[in-house]
């Protein structure tokens, strides 16, 4: 079976029809093009340097497209679900995007792609924290700090629930006018805690919990108050949640990555709702499909980060 992948050379070929694009990850490639792109593409690659959104600059666009095809061939269900969720998101409200993302994520959790990845993944021992999220208040300013430095603030269920409690304060208390979101230790957040992956045996219930206890939904409601302070690894949930913030500051050592598709999943902490608002769905799809690292300076050029600052 051929992977659900279609690459179009925009220097030679017309855009695909709706029927051709349906059920495929559609990638457009151009040697130097940077003008307004045709519609219907999930990723747009160009050899031009520093192109405007939605283009992604590549030294060798055709080679990059072939690498993306390998990803789609290895995890077809996750790759296709990703672009379908991103396409639909353009027509949905913010809260609706989170529900659709969770439905797709929960479905993939029960799929062959994720189960195959899980079977080969290194087993990790859970390392829970007594207080995974620390709060401090100074006048109208609330500081929320992820506090599991021993695991680079990996995002587990306890951290999710504690972060929800903190953000409920920001949403409900009108005297809180500024929220600083930080991470203790060497990294802001290294993503989902792999020690918990695969422990849920009921994807439907997991979906209900994910929607009910959603830091992303709360961040959508108080985003104007929130400044996220990034440093070190900012992976998966780390960038998915911080991208909701009204302002995102990053230390020069910040490294951003979305690894979920390679695991047979899609971003599940709100990334398909938060990142497209900042960088567009095409660049979001590229980050998620490629799994490539984005440096702080690159994130600044894309608009995923608003300012580079000295750490601390």
**CATH number for 205:** 3.90.226.10
Tens of pLDDT along 69-87? 999 999 999 999 999 999 9
Range of the domain at 51: 5-74
Domain-located, residue 102: yes
312 confidence band (pLDDT: 50, 70, 90): low
| Whether residue 36 is found in the same domain as residue 90 | no
Last residue of a domain, one of 74, 98, 126: 74
CA-angle at 147, arms to 117 and 239, nearest 5°: 50
Q: What pLDDT is stored for residue 1 in this prediction?
A: 61
Tens of pLDDT along 186-230? 999 999 998 888 777 788 998 999 999 999 999 999 999 999 999
123 confidence band (pLDDT: 50, 70, 90): confident
Q: In the predicted model, is pLDDT for residue 250 greater than 90?
A: yes
Comparison of pLDDT for 77 and 37, the residue scoring more: 77
Domain-located, residue 79: no
Q: In the predicted model, is pLDDT for residue 176 greater than 90?
A: yes
Q: In the predicted model, is pLDDT for residue 58 greater than 90?
A: yes
Cα–Cα distance measured from residue 5 to residue 274, given in angstroms and rounded to the nearest whole number: 25
For the chain, what is the HEC assignment? CCCCEEEEECCCCCCCCHHHHCCCEEEEEECCCCCCCCCCCCEEEECCCCCCCCCEECCCHHHHHHHHHHHHHHCHHHHHHHHHHHHHHCCCCHHHHHHHHHHHHHHHHCCHHHHHHHHHCCCCCCCCCCCCEEEEEECCEEEEEECCHHHCCCECHHHHHHHHHHHHHHHHCCCCCEEEEEECCCCCECCECCCCCCCCCCHHHHHHHHHHCCHHHHHHHHHHHEEEEECCEEECHHHHHHCCCCEEEECCCCEEECCHHHHCCCCCCCHHHHHHHHHHHHHHHHHHHHCCCEEHHHHHHHCCCCEECCCC
| Whether residue 278 is found in the same domain as residue 206 | yes
């Amino acid at each position: 079976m051929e992977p659900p992948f279609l690459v179009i050379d925009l220097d030679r070929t017309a855009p695909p029809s709706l029927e051709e694009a349906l059920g495929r990850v559609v990638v457009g490639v151009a040697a130097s093009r940077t003008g307004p792109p045709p519609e219907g593409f999930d990723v747009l690659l160009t050899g031009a340097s520093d192109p405007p959104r939605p283009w992604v600059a590549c030294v060798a666009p055709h080679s990059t497209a072939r690498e993306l095809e390998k990803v789609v061939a290895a995890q077809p269900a996750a790759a296709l679900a990703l672009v379908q969720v991103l396409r639909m998101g353009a027509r949905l409200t913010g809260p609706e995007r989170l529900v659709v993302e969770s439905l797709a994520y929960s479905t993939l959790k029960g799929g062959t792609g994720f189960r195959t990845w899980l079977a080969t993944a290194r087993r990790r021992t859970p390392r829970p924290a007594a207080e995974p999220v620390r709060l401090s208040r100074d006048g109208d300013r609330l500081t929320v700090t992820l506090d599991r430095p021993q695991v680079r603030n990996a995002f587990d269920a306890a951290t999710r629930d504690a972060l929800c409690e903190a953000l409920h304060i920001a949403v409900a208390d009108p005297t809180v006018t500024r929220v600083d979101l930080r991470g203790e230790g060497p990294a802001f957040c290294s993503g989902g805690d792999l020690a918990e992956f695969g422990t849920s045996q009921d994807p439907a219930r997991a979906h209900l919990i994910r929607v009910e206890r959603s830091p992303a939904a709360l961040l959508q409601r108080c985003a104007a108050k929130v400044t996220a302070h990034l440093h070190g690894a900012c992976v998966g949930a780390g960038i998915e949640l911080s991208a909701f913030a009204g302002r995102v500051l990053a230390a020069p050592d910040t490294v951003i990555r979305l690894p979920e598709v390679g695991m047979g999943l899609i971003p599940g902490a709100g990334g398909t709702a938060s990142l497209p608002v900042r960088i567009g769905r095409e660049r979001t799809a590229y980050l998620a499909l490629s799994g490539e690292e984005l440096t702080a300076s690159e994130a600044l050029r894309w608009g995923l980060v608003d300012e580079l600052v000295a750490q601390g």
